[in-house]
Amino acid sequence: MTDQPFHSGFACFVGRPNAGKSTLTNALVGQKIAIASSKPQTTRHAVRGIVTCDSGQLVLIDTPGLHRPRTLLGERLNEMVRETWSEVDVVGVCLPCDQRIGPGDRYIVSQIAELSNRPLLVALATKTDLVSKERVLSHLVDISALADELGIQWAEVVPCSALNNDQVDTVRDVLLRLLPEGPMYYPDGEVTDEPEETLIAELIREAALEGVRDELPHSIAVVIDEILPRPDRPEDKPLLDVFASIVVERDSQKGIIIGHKGSRLREIGTAARLQINRLLGTPVHLSLHVKVLREWQRDTKYLNRLGF
């Protein structure tokens, strides 16, 4: 038995779009639980990833990015982000090394600094794999200057690359060390408390986001209609039938998702199926169809039905 105290608690990553938040969450958890995309506001749910080791348990909440809302959905996502900030013990601010610190970064950090119940702040210089060592050092100087400018203190500053798994263990150890002493919230071995249906829907949405035009990503939602084991399969060769709907706001968007003679929808299905197979460890047959719910992002009834 070890005499070391057990630390447990909650942390989240913040940063501008494409700062590496979801990729770092997945690297720490050791499994894909958060979808990653270059499109802004890809993350829509507060997905919990669980990291357990001998010294403690870290619950990572992958939240949407704070943005200027143009719809009721956007307002609800921003509310979720602010609620999460005030409830976690530590916030990791992702500041990618391949981009200069800008107004968006200052805005996010200043908003957290204004919280009455402010969490500890850790600066994460992400994407070190994309730049030279000199650029990383220069970026670390800028990160220090940002704290001085906003009148905050970084509890730690860690350069890292989730893609190359560089210093990911250090990020984990730093976050764990900053957590209060506490109990194990989840059983050892559990990596998320998200229902499988939610994870499957997110993997389909990730595949649908690839290669679409800028105005379309916000209009895409995915609903899992049914998941059924194929009845005529032997026990040692199971197959799951997954029926899902890709929801868009206009008929023109439906045409884009389906593509010429269904080519785009087939590509989405193939990409998503591979990821779902990996997630479940069971072969799946994925049946997708596209439906239009007009202006669903602005409609309370549709938002509630879609789980927002």
301 marked ligand binding residue: no
Q: Does 164 count as an annotated binding residue?
A: no
- Residue 237 known to bind ligand: no
Asked whether residue 128 is marked as a ligand-binding residue, the answer is: yes
Q: Is 165 a known ligand-binding residue?
A: no
According to DSSP, the residues that pair with 240 across neighbouring strands are: 229, 284
Which two three-digit tokens encode residue 295? Answer: 């202006």
At residue 269, the 3 state secondary structure works out as: helix
Query: Annotation-wise, does 307 bind a ligand?
Result: no
Q: How far apart, in whole angstroms, are the C-alpha atoms of residue 297 and residue 286?
A: 26
Q: Is there a binding annotation on residue 251?
A: no
Residue 65 in marked binding region: yes
Determine if residue 180 is labeled as part of a ligand binding site: no
64 labeled binding residue: yes
Please check if 22 is assigned to a binding site.
yes
**Element holding 142 (H helix, E strand):** helix 133-150
The answer to the question of whether 169 is labelled as a binding residue is no
Instruction: Count CB atoms within 10 A of the CB of residue 300.
Output: 10
173 is in an annotated binding site: no
Q: Say whether 63 counts as a known binding-site residue.
A: yes
Residue among 201, 206, 209 nearest 225 (CA): 201
Q: Would you say 18 is a known binding-site residue?
A: yes
Rg (CA), the chain: 20
Give the separation between CA 65 and CA 19, rounded to whole angstroms.
10
Per the annotation, where are the binding residues?
15-22, 62-66, 126-129
Per the annotation, where are the binding residues for GTP?
15-22, 62-66, 126-129
